[in-house]
Structure 1
Amino acid sequence: MTTQTFPLAPMNRLAPLVLVVPAAGIALAVLVAPREQATPLPMLATAFMFALVIAGPLLGLLRRRITLDGHTLVVAATAYTQRIPVDAFDLDSARVVDLDERTEFRPMLGINRFGLPGFRAGYYVLRNRVRGFCLLTRFQRVLVLPRRDGRFVLLSPEQPQALLSRLRELAATPTRG
């Protein structure tokens, strides 16, 4: 069984700053606030809690991967993982779209998700009122994969057409076992 990884389109480098800048400001405010207590323990505990709150999502951003493992598409997106057999997709209807033009596929309501400006991961209700699993690092050149059960998978691989072509090749070959 072969494994093939498809790199994701680069994420906007400013997106993690949405987490870091407010946390740094709050931590700085805690550190410079006038203290009436002799012990800095509550101040240090507060700063440590902010560090944990920020570190978790930032570490989650490192877990982003699109892989074909045999005849299974594996999408790892922060804390979420989808393992979908290739034959679960309606690849004749799959296409590469710009979500600014095809707004019916834009994620609208997060069900169980993680999002920053320019980054979406997890389960969403799309604007067409259908559920979808997203791993989006950009809204242009998004691979929209309709599933046979009516849901969608939206991905931002660096080369969406290459992933779609490989999925179609796998769908044309029989699975073993």
Structure 2
Amino acid sequence: MAAVGTWSFSRPAVEKMRCMLLAGQNATDVVETVMAEVEDDADTGRYIVGRGGYPNFKGVVECDAAIMEGVPGRFGAVAALRGIAQPCRVARKVMEKSPHSLLVGDGAEAFAQDLGFTSEANDNMLSHHTATAYREFLEKNQPVSGGHDTIGLIALDLSGNITVGGGCSR
């Protein structure tokens, strides 16, 4: 059993993963569950992940997420997905239900909505911190760095299955 994450803000996620894995949960469920919690938390969003993440050049939060299983070697990802606070959940559905491995932009959003995911207004995706940073960017024309680029989580369950998840926003 192993649980690994990137950056210091993922430490609570890694600890939760460890507990879930020791309780016998499978690696894919563990990665999706914990990553979704990180993505949906505006406090971790300021590190460029999901809700509360930094917006793109036009002020819109667009999220990317991927989930990969070692066995049977499946992969699913979304990119430039707007209005979905937990893009890793959509990425998993791409892996399980789509003939494609990667869906981008409008196609990713349509796929998510077809599966019942609710799209949120951009104002609900921005946090106070990132909205302020975006206004400063417009005034000074200088990019604001959150100091990090993404979150990555790796889980190896008690059966020896490995799953990796990654996500970011911009």
Which has the higher Rg, Structure 1 or Structure 2? 1
TM-score, scaled to structure 1:
0.28
State the structure with bigger RCO (CA 8 A, min sep 6), 1 or 2.
2
Structure ranking higher in strand proportion: 1
Structure ranking higher in helix proportion: 2
TM-score, scaled to structure 2:
0.29
